[in-house]
Amino acid sequence: MSRSKLSIWFVVCLLVGAPGCKDGNQAENGEAAAKVPAVDDLAGGEDDLLARRDALLAARNRVRKERTDLSEKLREARAKGSDTAELVARADQLEAEEKRISDEEGQLNESLDAFLRERGELLKQLAAQASAQNRAGAVQTVMVSREKDLASRESRLAKREAELARREATLAKREKETCGVGGGTTIIQAPASPSGSKYRKRDVEPMLRRARRDMSKKGILQSDLPAAVRALESEATKAMAKGDYGRAHFAAAQLLASVRGIRVNKNFIAAKINRLNRAIKGKKLSASKNGEVTKLFRQATANFGDGRFSTANGRLNKIHALIR
């Protein structure tokens, strides 16, 4: 039995009571025991979804590495005046492949979100059926198990996303440099194309939309971004207005990679609470608004302690809107 199946099975045993786990046919646990196969099925679904997500991350990493290497080869070939048709064709293939992987990741993330909601509802039903004697221990075990699982997965995914973000930025930088490389000094060329003519508006805007969508989905505010990242969207937009699509593409790629690398976890929430505390100092709020902020802070702190980081983040975002 896999680790996730084992942990969920252990939680179910606590929720329905030890006797029910030893003998699923006992009358007093009949209804709860009937839900155990459903939980086991969900655990199997979780394993499958996580395996697919890991595979997609590995595939995107592989494509990104090849694109980075290919960008360097293109730069060298253009500097020497060599034929780049084959390299350009391969670059187009890799770009299309990465878009396919990105689209599939989006669909998979939606499936994973739906799965997590379904599992949460099922565990709530089981918790409601547990005896008052077992309920407190069961809820605590659910939280501890979930915290350990999430911490392990977040750590693994954060490392992979950080590596991908580094490669994304490296590739964007090299591609930007490549745009300005000439084919040879002895060849008479037409007047130079606008800066960054390898890219167009259609290459930049989808990345900005994905970055905004991911920020909205995760509940990431502009102030949550690292200082060096906050101006990237504005930089990309201004560069597009000037026709400098190479610079715009570079900024948009950095923004998207940075957003994808952010995890709404314990450290993220702790840092956000500190930022909001500093922002509130010196603010003059009405009595009603001050009461609402205090209530939201209290709820967010409780969510933080329970490991419900996304819920805590939503409450902190409401505070941010109130004190602006």
pTM of the entire predicted model: 0.44
Could you count the other beta carbons within 10 Å of the beta carbon of residue 294?
12
Q: Cα separations (Å) of 238 from 223, 233, 243, 318?
A: 20, 9, 9, 30
Ranges 159-163, 226-230, 250-254, 319-323: which has the least confidence: 159-163
What pLDDT does 321 receive?
Answer: 92
What pLDDT does 86 receive?
Answer: 85
What pLDDT does 79 receive?
Answer: 83
Reported residue count of the chain is 324
Residue 296 — very low, low, confident or very high, per pLDDT cuts 50/70/90? very high
pLDDT at 216 over 90: yes
pLDDT tens-digit readout, 151-164: 555 555 555 555 65
pLDDT at 34 over 70: no
CB 143 within 8 A of CB 166: no
Maximum separation of any 2 CA atoms in the chain, in Å: 90
How far is it, in rounded angstroms, from Cα 285 to Cα 313? 21
Residue 7 — very low, low, confident or very high, per pLDDT cuts 50/70/90? very low
Nearest to 317 by CA among 213, 209, 222: 222
Ranges 29-33, 87-91, 185-189: which has the least confidence: 185-189
The rounded mean pLDDT for the chain is: 72
What pLDDT does 180 receive?
Answer: 42
* Contacts of 229 by beta carbon, 8 Å cutoff, 6+ apart: 254, 255, 258
Mean pLDDT in residue range 222-233: 89
Residue 47 — very low, low, confident or very high, per pLDDT cuts 50/70/90? low
135, with CB counted inside 10 A (0-12, 13-18, 19+), is: middle
Mean pLDDT in residue range 260-285: 88
How far is it, in rounded angstroms, from Cα 315 to Cα 120? 20
How many H helices and E strands in the chain?
11, 0
Task: Decide which of 94 and 27 is more confident.
Answer: 94
Estimate to the nearest angstrom the gap between the alpha carbon of 85 and the chain centroid. 36
Estimate to the nearest angstrom the gap between the alpha carbon of 55 and the chain centroid. 16
Mean pLDDT in residue range 35-41: 48
pLDDT tens-digit readout, 298-324: 999 999 888 899 999 999 999 999 988
Domain boundaries in the chain? 1-168, 193-263, 264-324
How far is it, in rounded angstroms, from Cα 264 to Cα 225? 12
